[in-house]
Structure 1
Amino acid sequence: MRGFPRAVLTVLAVALALWLVLGFWPLSGAGQLAFSLCILLAGGTALWRQWRYFQRHRASMEQLTENSLPPEDYQGAVVLVCGDTASLFPVEAAHRETRQGWYLRAENAEQLPLLAQHLANARPALVPQVSVLLALMPEQHLSDESLAQSLRGWRRSIAQCRVWLNGLPPVWSVVWVSPPNSEYQEEGGWFTVTPDLPGTRVRQSSHVPLPLDDWQREAGNTASRFCHVLWLDSVQALTERHIIRPFSTRQGDLPALKFCASGISLTPVMAAADNLWQQQIAQITTLSPTGSSVPAMPSLPDVLLPYMPRRQGISRRMQDMRLVGGICFLFLALAMLASFLNNQRLVRSVGDHLVVYHRLSGTPSEPKRQAQQRLRADSRLLDDWLRRGEPLRYGLGLYQGMRLIPPVEAAINSWTPPPPPRPVIKKVMQGPQTIRLDSMSLFDTGKWALKPGSTRLLVNSLVGIKAKPGWLIVVAGHTDSTGDDQSNQALSLKRAESVRDWMRDTGDVPESCFAVQGYGESRPVATNDTAAGRALNRRVEISLVPQANACQAPDNPPAPSQDDGASIHDMEK
């Protein structure tokens, strides 16, 4: 079946189109998705239509058996017979073979293109030998309208055969009519019109084709031949009205058909009562056709077969191969075009990076360093393609990356970025965290004199607090909320002074190194509603605060600030 190779061609075209879109054309992700969906939709629609066509005509195709076709090496003419075919073939026979031709019968207008399709697929080598014969028997039609309607259907089916037979095949027509009354009947043979000889010729089995006038003047039954000529004129008028003129005019999508030959056979045929031919003859003469009441099989027009034009066509299989070649050629052409565009984009991108890189002077260095990084990325990509081979979308003999490697490498090596400046490390003098002393461990309730056993606690707690120039030792006292504010403030100040005095006297630290503050109950660190909170609020805090003129001897210059880079631990060393 032709549907199968056509489906294969459709699948091939869809696959190549998807490969072209996804593998070659420079499209964004959204563009690739949109084009892929369109291709799949078009391919699915084509396959669905082919399947519907096959299902719709499957029953008609099954009637065309392999036995009705000529052999593959058949050398004679292959004729598709359409029109009035019932009397030309045996009952239920699909073909009829003669010495010069193989006649295949199309029972109706719908079957003719299917017969051409079946023949093209089963016997593709015989396609150049195919012609179409339009058989007409006016005595089997009852009116001009019925004949015209029948011929319109056959004309459309003949035009459809061009899809399967490499264009319109040679078309010829033959008319069979009953001769005049039996008293005028004779063996007249065939009356033909062929392109090699002018006018109508009489072809008899044992004679050279004669012009109609010469044949009429021959010695013999002159009256009989006069009736034959009258008959021929009527047949030609009917043929001109119903076949030659309508078929030679283009109508819509139907092309004009030019008959390559035509013939008339005067032989008894099966006739319907009050048929079209009888109506026409009755209008112009008193004669009447000699119809046959017994089914007879008229002879086939073998005399016209030598005049069929020889076509230089190709088989259906070769046409499919040409179509495959055309699809592949189109794919290759579009793929090369896409490869060319991809390479142009690559050259333009690397060229833009080179232009930007050479335009930058390197001062400041950061923009040029960034441009150099882009060139390094381009260089890595080109080197990778050099080792592994470029992607197919850049290949097909059009790859331009090789000539980009030297200028990129030269540009990268032409400039070295300056080393980054050494960072200035500033050592920040940091004091220890604030030291918090429990007042109840140092003083009795309501007192500011140090307990006798508090010296050891002070020594262990204040080991990191040392007097250094530029640092102020701040001693702050705090109480809970018990008592009035004035008393608590005074008590906290006295306790802070006691700790200061101990540190001053024990470490021989100048008075200028200390600052004493009493906050009373104004800065609690816990709630005063509980005993535990009040115990935390009763405290003495000692901390180091940077101050440029703190803890200076009279003959020493000002101490460095906290930003001179020396920590308290460095100063202790």
Structure 2
Amino acid sequence: MRGLTQLILLLLAMCLSLWLVLGFWPLGFSSRVGISLLVVILSGMKGYLLWRKHNRNALSQGQITDSTLPPEDFQGAVVLVCGDNDALFSASVPFRETRQGWYLPVETPDQLPLLAQHLAAERPALIAQISLLMAIVPEQHQDRDDFKQSLRTWHRAIAQCKGWLAGLPPVWVSTWVSPPSAPLAEPERWYTVTYVQKGVQVYEAGSGVIPLGQWSQYQNAGNSQERLSAAFWIESLHSWLKVYVQSILTQCQGEVTALNPCAWVHCLTPVTGSHNNLWQSHITRVTSLTPVVTALQDLLPLPDVLLSYQPRRHGVSRLMQTWQMAGILCGIFLLLALLASFINNQRLIQSVGDHLALYHRLTGMPPEPKVHARQQLRADARLLDNWLRSGAPMRLSLGLYQGMRLIAPLEAAINSWAPPPPPPPVINKIIQGPKTIRLDSLSLFDVGKYVLKTGSGKVLINALVGIKGKPGWLIVIAGHTDDTGDEKSNQILSLRRAESVRDWMRDTGDIPESCFAVQGYGEIRPIATNDTPEGRTANRRVEISLVPQANACQAAAIPHSSND
């Protein structure tokens, strides 16, 4: 189940990565395809490694069954019993459950990291409740070097559990030795040394916690001699542990740090031992007495009284770990997507800003570059308008879209300029026909105006007798002004006056528009000096000429031939 959860999280991470690359990150098409393929390949390799690791762990943990593990909602302490645990567990039941704890035996040092890894995978909520108990039965060891080597091996195995158990869990040492004399029918009693309390404390059912010195000197007890002997036995055991155990665990072994147990627990109970063991040698050397080797009939008692004093933390279940990891992946994706959306919006603002700057920098002379720039602004405006109607693309969204505030500057810039109208046809050479009629502008228009005055029709009718559209002839109407005012205004005024005359002739004489050509010369073709009023009056004129030109006035030929 743990391997399946990791594969699901890997698939989620791959999908979010592809979504980020293809939907948000500002990359080119080839870059997106390349990175997407790389993400898929790396995800496939990681999935293969997870699958192999899962199978390898399944083989190495084949002897660990979930039936021996505590349930995931177990509220008590989970104790991994290392060292001399043969006398603590039976062959039929590979674990022991008490009111306050769940004890699991660890057969060999090599099995301890595997069991820790299996617990982390299958019972992650119980990680904070795990502690390591180093069980020591001194009467079962005969060789000092073998015993020290065994402790060093367990020390290294305990240090390897850090990565699986969220750091080094609480480690405590429990010792069982036979009492100095035949035991009486007394309640179970434990002698402890912890970092919280000074000296040896005695835990006895029904009596609470009493310091060893006060307990051994209790006068009202009927077994005061046995208490003094037990106190002496415990002190001897402390000296033995200091030489054989503490000196090994509290030393560094290369990269393996020193191990300082949080508690030392001792129990005086009949223990099955071997002859000439380390404990006998120590007691004989200290007291010249030889402990009696007894045979144990039942399992050794468990130090359950100390479990309530173990540090407790709140663990995280496997489901919660999965949701936390999924939340972390989604959070990373959201942060990167927001960053990509911000970059995309900044690029949009910069692109439109560059188009606007180029448009405003162009003067319009010649008009072609500014026309092209104006077309680009129109394309930008259409794109932003489409996004306004149908919604911005995903790569610009997530609440960071900036395109709406760009629409108004674009429309203002587009409407601020219009391309000039195409220039009228240029007549390079005018061949004067038989008639050129010259009309005074003041007889037709008011000063500075180009709208025909009331009554100007009589002047035009009298002056234009004989002027009519003929195939192959072009009626050229040219407007002229004096030099009063600026040159550009005079040119526009002369053109508009020529157009007014053309419109009157076209509408009155039913002459097709293709028979006309208009030109406004302004002040550039004077016929008299502009220094006198008479000269300026002569220069303000409208001239009408018939010019031969092929394919001119073709529409006029149709009604003419029908009259014939």
**Please, what TM-score do these two structures have when normalized by structure 2?**
0.66
Task: Give the partner amino acid of 1:383.
Answer: D
**What pairs with 1:288-303 in structure 2 (closer than 5 Å)?**
288-292=290-294, 296-303=298-305
Residue 100 of structure 2 corresponds to 100
Q: 2:332 aligns with which of 330, 336, 339?
A: 330
Distance 1:412 1:166 in 2: 65
CA contact (8 A) 1:131 1:169 kept: yes
How far is 1:265 from its partner? 2.4
Point out where structure 1 has 5 or more consecutive residues left out of the alignment. 427-563
Task: Give the partner amino acid of 2:99.
Answer: R
Q: Percent identity?
A: 50
Cα deviations by residue, 1:405-442 (Å, 9 ceiling, x for unpaired): 1111211222222345578899xxxxxxxxxxxxxxxx
Distance 2:155 2:50 in 1: 24
Residue 210 of structure 1 corresponds to 210
Question: Is 2:225 the partner of 1:220?
Answer: yes
Residue 430 of structure 1 corresponds to none
How far is 1:225 from its partner? 3.6
Q: 1:367 aligns with which of 361, 364, 369?
A: 369
CA contact (8 A) 1:139 1:277 kept: yes
CA contact (8 A) 1:21 1:36 kept: yes
Task: Give the partner amino acid of 1:213.
Answer: G
Cα deviations by residue, 1:11-42 (Å, 9 ceiling, x for unpaired): 21222122222221212344434543443444
CA contact (8 A) 2:191 2:202 kept: yes
Task: Give the partner amino acid of 1:100.
Answer: Q
Question: Is 2:174 the partner of 1:174?
Answer: yes
CA contact (8 A) 2:25 2:340 kept: yes
Q: 2:318 aligns with which of 316, 326, 329?
A: 316
Question: Is 2:248 the partner of 1:242?
Answer: yes
State the SS of the aligned residue for 1:393: helix
CA contact (8 A) 1:261 1:307 kept: no
CA contact (8 A) 1:127 1:316 kept: no
Distance 2:301 2:189 in 1: 10
Distance 1:318 1:300, change over 3 A: same
Q: 1:398 aligns with which of 367, 387, 400?
A: 400
Residue 346 of structure 2 corresponds to 344
How far is 1:333 from its partner? 0.9
Distance 2:152 2:379 in 1: 72
Distance 1:129 1:83 in 2: 20
**Range moving further from structure 2, 133-142 or 204-213:** 133-142
How far is 1:362 from its partner? 0.9
How far is 1:302 from its partner? 0.6
Task: Give the partner amino acid of 1:202.
Answer: V
Point out where structure 2 has 5 or more consecutive residues left out of the alignment. 219-223, 429-547, 555-564
RMSD, aligned α-carbons? 3.6
CA contact (8 A) 1:178 1:267 kept: yes
Residue 353 of structure 1 corresponds to 355
Cα deviations by residue, 1:367-414 (Å, 9 ceiling, x for unpaired): 212222222222222122222211211111111111111111211222
CA contact (8 A) 2:141 2:278 kept: yes
**Range moving further from structure 2, 159-168 or 21-30:** 159-168
Q: 1:230 aligns with which of 229, 236, 257?
A: 236
How far is 1:335 from its partner? 0.9
Residue 20 of structure 1 corresponds to 20
State the SS of the aligned residue for 1:81: strand
Distance 1:380 1:128, change over 3 A: same
Residue 538 of structure 2 corresponds to none
CA contact (8 A) 1:278 1:289 kept: yes
Distance 1:140 1:565 in 2: 132
Task: Give the partner amino acid of 1:231.
Answer: L
How far is 1:88 from its partner? 1.4
Residue 559 of structure 1 corresponds to none
CA contact (8 A) 2:81 2:132 kept: yes
| Bigger radius of gyration | 1
Cα deviations by residue, 1:442-464 (Å, 9 ceiling, x for unpaired): xxxxxxxxxxxxxxxxxxxxxxx
Task: Give the partner amino acid of 1:194.
Answer: T
**Please, what TM-score do these two structures have when normalized by structure 1?**
0.65
**What pairs with 1:388-537 in structure 2 (closer than 5 Å)?**
388-420=390-422
How far is 1:128 from its partner? 4.0
Residue 505 of structure 2 corresponds to none
CA contact (8 A) 1:94 1:105 kept: yes
State the SS of the aligned residue for 1:209: strand
